Structure 1
Amino acid sequence: MSHTQASDWEASIVAAITEELDQLKYLIEDRSGSTEKNDIHAQVSRLCGLTDLAHNDAIPFSASIRLQLHELNEMAMGMVRNTVDFSPPTEDFVQSVEREAAQGLFDAIAFNIPYLAQGETSKYAIALSMNAFDLMRTHMGDHPDFEMMERLVLVQDYRVMKLAGDNR
């Protein structure tokens, strides 16, 4: 393979990365409301997948191209650091996610009661750690069926559950 061909393929990779970088810039600057954080994360993943090629010694990049790939990666990371909001989630958001998880757990137990009860010799539909159960109680404790649900859940200390191991 001649040096010119190597330069061509290297240039095409740099061009592809530059296009992905332009797309990242577009997504970050998009104010239309149609771009979500997941879109930006996916674009960063694509871009890093390409710039990470510079770390692969099996690919015969020239030293200058490896350096260029590192610089493009730094540009991308700089764009993300400067524009994406990395503030911690609000307490309301955390509560909302916890409530949703508790509701999902509650529903899963309720939907599975007929199946779980048939095959169980114990009277419990599921075993939960104290923390998981407390979370469910916090968000679902006022549900009219919670008291009945409570009787179907074996609540254990997580350390005890861990010691018990995999009983399947």
Structure 2
Amino acid sequence: MNPDAISVELKWLAHGEGLPVPTYGTEHAAGMDLHAAVAEDESVTLAPGGGIELIPCGFSMAVPVGYEAQVRPRSGLAVKFGISMPNAPGTIDADYRGEVCVPLINHGPEPFVVERGMRIAQMLVLPVPRVSWSVVDDLCATTRGQGGFGHTGV
């Protein structure tokens, strides 16, 4: 085991039993694959042109304090089928104990069927520093200044 790895508790829910835990697909992958926990004999169909469905992953977890879990779309599903997440990236806070679910949206022209065990998203567990605000009268100057929203061109 990686000495820098953090421990995250995972609790299987009844409909998630038998699915893999979130797993890195390759040695240097940043995200862990999340699997769909739809019923074995059922599927969920995402309607083309913007259909959204909330897909269960079949587990809950305890993200350590000082961390968040970010859920992101899978690039292969996006490129091949137009499948993404309407809130990408989604955040799972350290105090959330409900089921991990993934909202999927179908931007593609064809219906997309989600079946049990399908890899539907990827998740990263990352540190999140707490912010302490300092209200000031003026901010330090930068070359960019207030330029934003495409100010550097295309």
TM-score range, shorter-chain basis?
under 0.3
Comparing both structures, which one devotes a greater share of its residues to strand? 2
TM-score by length of 1: 0.19
TM-score by length of 2: 0.21
